[in-house]
Structure 1
Amino acid sequence: MSMYPDLKLFIGGEWRKTAEDISVVNPATEEELGRLPCASIADLKDALRAAEKGFEIWRKTAPRERADILLRAAALMRERQEEIAQAITAEHGKPLAQARLEVIRGAEFFEWDAGEAMRVYGRVIPAASGSKISVHHHPIGVVAAFSPWNFPMSQPARKIAGALASGCSIILKAAEETPAGAIHIVKCFEEAGLPAGVLNLVFGRPAEISEFLIPQPSVRLVALTGSTTVGRHLTGLAAQSDTRVLMELGGHAPVIVCEDTDVQKAAICGAIRKMRNTGQVCTSPTRFFVHESIFEEFASTFTKRAAETVVGNGADVGVEMGPTANDRRVPFLSELVSDAVSKGAELRTGGNRLRKRGYFFEPTVLTHVPDSALIMQEEPFGPVAVINPVKDLEDAIKQANAVPYGLAGYAFTNRADYIDRLIDELEVGNFSVNTLEASLPETPFGGIKSSGYGREGGTEGLESYLTIKNVWHSSDIR
């Protein structure tokens, strides 16, 4: 592995250490990678002042110039793919191949939004003689953004790309457990020529940072990817100052497997995708509702492929699944499995912590899980899949919608009537048929119900970062 980056805050165009720091640990080895500085209130005040000054510069920067800087930074990320990927694998544990793809996905967010920066169009509205009416878009202001630990590169990229493409400045609090991805992004923008203060990076005590930044008058958008619980708390803080929010929150993705599909392919695809990133994906396929006529074949094939998953240190060749990213996940996953089994679920494979150093949990499959089991309502955010039989499509849709979340949903079917009905009735923000891919930089991504507000990506992705101004210009005083 290459050298892990020196961990620092980035405020007003300068890197800094602080008096207080915390340990960053490799979850595969439990060895310390570095010491991460924690921002004090004084650091946060400096970051806010820097972002306010940066906004005044960046909002007046031409969209084409903003786009050029985004593209230069993205090109640097691509050049440094291997260095960044190795740092991500070290701090997160995911296989190196997945980390490499994440670096490219992060660069793609910047490349897409660079194009969108030049397509923030207003419009002219036909008006009565003597009047001109037009609609204008303006950057909203300073953005306070919070990104999670499960994708150290691509999650910060989404927030930074949207803010910078729109002409906003941003203070990003990235995840303390996985800081390297965000640090590498900032380094690339520093070298790409981004003006000081436009992008600021802090770490520390999450509650202290959010409680200081969110009420500030110049902070006009709070953007979070995180749990529903945290999202509701930050939304409440933002509501006290009428601050807009962009929330991508929890999920508990259903997969409906219809009787007309290729059972073997669907099961193998499902098992591989479920274990990607150790199941630590907000769109991870988790609750599989399989038509009763193909249930046993699907469950057996899925279980076999899940049990064959190569688990180990993500830096090692051939590893398909690494450890959970932190030690909190393992006891929680054990609790979910034990609860389900105690209520009548069948444990087909896994269910235990691996007896080795690191935060490893076995690929796990549960079948015939009753509705009363905690896992039917709680997102496992780990390598645990639930497979239950259903009698028909109506039954599957009812069970898929029986949770408060609505981020992503999937189906395997080739029947047009089934697809039409699923599009109309499945309560999710992102729906995929015969694929378990949920989003791309060019598509709008976000949830409904308790899975959040707003969208990132696609042509809709900049809307939260912009204000709308209606201008009515009359040639006569009226």
Structure 2
Amino acid sequence: MSYDTDLKLFIDGAWKSGEGRDSHTVVNPATAGGIAEVPYATRADLDEALAAAARAWPEWRSTDVDKRGAILRKAAKLLRERADHIGAILTQEQGKPIAEAKAEVAGSAQLFDWYAEEVKRDYGRTLVRPAGQLSRVIRQPVGPVATFTPWNFPIYLMAKKLAPALATGCTVIARPPHETPGCATELIRALVDAGIPKGVVQLVHGDADMVSRTLIGSKEIRKVSFTGSTNVGKHLMKLAADSMTRITMELGGHAPVLVFDDCDLEKTLDMVVPQKFRNAGQVCVSPTRFYVQETIYDAFLKGFAERTGKVKVGDGLDADTRMGPLANDRRPEAVGALIEDAAAKGARVLTGGQRGNSGFFFQPTLLADVPNEANIMNEEPFGPVAVTRAFSTFDEVIEQSNRLPFGLAAFAFTENGRRANLLGELIESGMVGINTFAISVPDAPFGGVKDSGFGSEGGKEGLESYQVVKAIHQA
């Protein structure tokens, strides 16, 4: 299957490439071979994009909400029609199985549909005042927005920012990762073909430091939305402080999974193993630290190891593949180092633990009896590694779950209703899934606490993150 997309910048209504711009090689992680060259934006390109976004904003925010919604719904329709094409591009750039890639495209379309309708219910409120006086509260679009998205869900996370921003009436300059420029380009192409006005959306590939400093430091940008690592997020926060730019930060995680002895163990294992190795574990909410009640610990390990050994690893374009390669050449080395450290500190490697012979593949891995001193218990592995420990009491497992500075997602499996209520209350996390992993849905907020960031995407909260609140008093 060929890599079929034309990699260009999109600025002020025009596709741009060449013209002496630097470029970066796009690599297929299944083969480690180059498949295309993506042009990098110059400072002049960024200045043009900023000017276009600022110029287009007044007209776009004044555009009737039904017209904005119609464009978003048409873009959603185009994404669905092009899912096979876009999914193949995504798989060749990022490595995930083709079925997962197509599902990501479908999920992106769902976001555009949902926000096209939700923005119609963006109500303000009227305050109680004496006769003849009026006080009302309204929300308005914040203005031109800069978005920065990662390579693990390159089209879905981009749509999660663009859909609400565009729905509210903001203009957007999007900078996708250099690993996955093609599927990002196809998302913008769907918006263009849907009739998005000139200057409302810009796509700029390029050097992360230069692009972020230029956009965040600009007086035109009123809001920054970033999804990525905690370290980079903190760096961008410092840049935003100088320009007093509003920010939403969806950062790293290290999701605990609490497995109690009253759960349906076989059903739980059938859920957690595929979820752990989805996208080769390169998921910010991936279940990672498995705390299993000691009475079922050995049975859990046995069932997990058996299922892990059956996970078919291979090129994501192969329909039988259930786990593809890691996304770039840095990941296998980093994951391997974490496993070696854990083993040296007493952890048992029950399955996997080795990288593949070609590409950026790494075996699905299960570690048992991992001590808290191991790096992998404190650093997000972002790879196909499950780490396990036994626990005895409820208080003990809550303490372990909340031990780290991360608080993005957590999961628990129990059939005890009172315990489930307590887990939802006591676990320090922006999202908690109890007997489910379905936590990233269009109508619910998605975001973390502590070092996992702040602000929400998804739901009405995602819409409000691209708005400012104004109180109007009239006597």
Shorter chain as denominator, the TM-score bin is over 0.9
Supply the distance in 2 between the matched residues of 1:331 and 1:173 (Cα, whole angstroms): 27
Supply the distance in 2 between the matched residues of 1:467 and 1:152 (Cα, whole angstroms): 27
Supply the distance in 1 between the matched residues of 2:53 and 2:116 (Cα, whole angstroms): 20
Aligned residue pairs total 473
Supply the distance in 1 between the matched residues of 2:245 and 2:34 (Cα, whole angstroms): 38
Supply the distance in 2 between the matched residues of 1:214 and 1:3 (Cα, whole angstroms): 33
Quote the residue 2:25 is aligned against: 23
SS in structure 2 at match of 1:219? coil
Quote the residue 2:176 is aligned against: 174
Note the residue ranges of structure 1 that are not aligned, 5 or more in a row: none
Quote the residue 1:414 is aligned against: 415
SS in structure 1 at match of 2:465? helix
Supply the distance in 2 between the matched residues of 1:130 and 1:7 (Cα, whole angstroms): 59
Q: C-alpha displacement at 1:206, in angstroms?
A: 0.3
CA RMSD of aligned residues (A): 0.9
User: After the TM superposition, which residues 49-198 of structure 1 pair with which residues of structure 2 at under 5 Å, given as runs?
Assistant: 49-198=51-200
Quote the residue 1:264 is aligned against: 266
Q: C-alpha displacement at 1:31, in angstroms?
A: 2.0
Contact 1:354 1:362 (8 Å CA) reproduced: yes
Q: Any idea what the Cα deviations from partners look like across 1:433-469, whole Å, max 9, x if unmatched?
A: 1112221011111001111111111121111100111
User: After the TM superposition, which residues 271-282 of structure 1 pair with which residues of structure 2 at under 5 Å, given as runs?
Assistant: 271-282=273-284
Supply the distance in 2 between the matched residues of 1:43 and 1:322 (Cα, whole angstroms): 35
SS in structure 2 at match of 1:422? helix
Q: Any idea what the Cα deviations from partners look like across 1:106-137, whole Å, max 9, x if unmatched?
A: 10111111112211111111112331000111
Note the residue ranges of structure 2 that are not aligned, 5 or more in a row: none
Mapped pair 1:444 → 2:445: yes
Supply the distance in 2 between the matched residues of 1:392 and 1:327 (Cα, whole angstroms): 41
Contact 1:258 1:393 (8 Å CA) reproduced: no
Supply the distance in 1 between the matched residues of 2:334 and 2:167 (Cα, whole angstroms): 39
One-letter amino acid matched to 2:304: F
Supply the distance in 2 between the matched residues of 1:369 and 1:307 (Cα, whole angstroms): 20
Supply the distance in 2 between the matched residues of 1:459 and 1:60 (Cα, whole angstroms): 21
Quote the residue 1:7 is aligned against: 7
Structure 1 segments of 4+ aligned residues over 2 angstroms from their partners: none
Deviates more, 1:437-446 or 1:251-260: 437-446
User: After the TM superposition, which residues 288-367 of structure 1 pair with which residues of structure 2 at under 5 Å, given as runs?
Assistant: 288-355=290-357, 357-367=358-368
Q: C-alpha displacement at 1:317, in angstroms?
A: 2.2
Q: Any idea what the Cα deviations from partners look like across 1:210-262, whole Å, max 9, x if unmatched?
A: 00110111211010000000111101111111111011000000100011001
SS in structure 2 at match of 1:105? helix
Q: C-alpha displacement at 1:2, in angstroms?
A: 4.3
Mapped pair 1:468 → 2:474: no
Q: Any idea what the Cα deviations from partners look like across 1:421-442, whole Å, max 9, x if unmatched?
A: 1011000111111112221011
Supply the distance in 2 between the matched residues of 1:408 and 1:216 (Cα, whole angstroms): 33
Per the normalisation by structure 1, the TM-score is 0.98
Quote the residue 1:427 is aligned against: 428
Q: C-alpha displacement at 1:270, in angstroms?
A: 1.1
Supply the distance in 1 between the matched residues of 2:340 and 2:3 (Cα, whole angstroms): 40
SS in structure 1 at match of 2:472? strand
Per the normalisation by structure 2, the TM-score is 0.98
Supply the distance in 2 between the matched residues of 1:82 and 1:241 (Cα, whole angstroms): 42
Q: Any idea what the Cα deviations from partners look like across 1:76-106, whole Å, max 9, x if unmatched?
A: 0001010000111111111111111001001
Mapped pair 1:386 → 2:392: no
- Identity over the aligned pairs, expressed in percent? 46
Quote the residue 1:210 is aligned against: 212
Contact 1:303 1:348 (8 Å CA) reproduced: yes
Supply the distance in 1 between the matched residues of 2:2 and 2:117 (Cα, whole angstroms): 33
One-letter amino acid matched to 1:418: R
SS in structure 2 at match of 1:289? strand
Supply the distance in 2 between the matched residues of 1:392 and 1:216 (Cα, whole angstroms): 52
Q: Any idea what the Cα deviations from partners look like across 1:347-370, whole Å, max 9, x if unmatched?
A: 111111012x21000000111111
Contact 2:3 2:35 (8 Å CA) reproduced: no
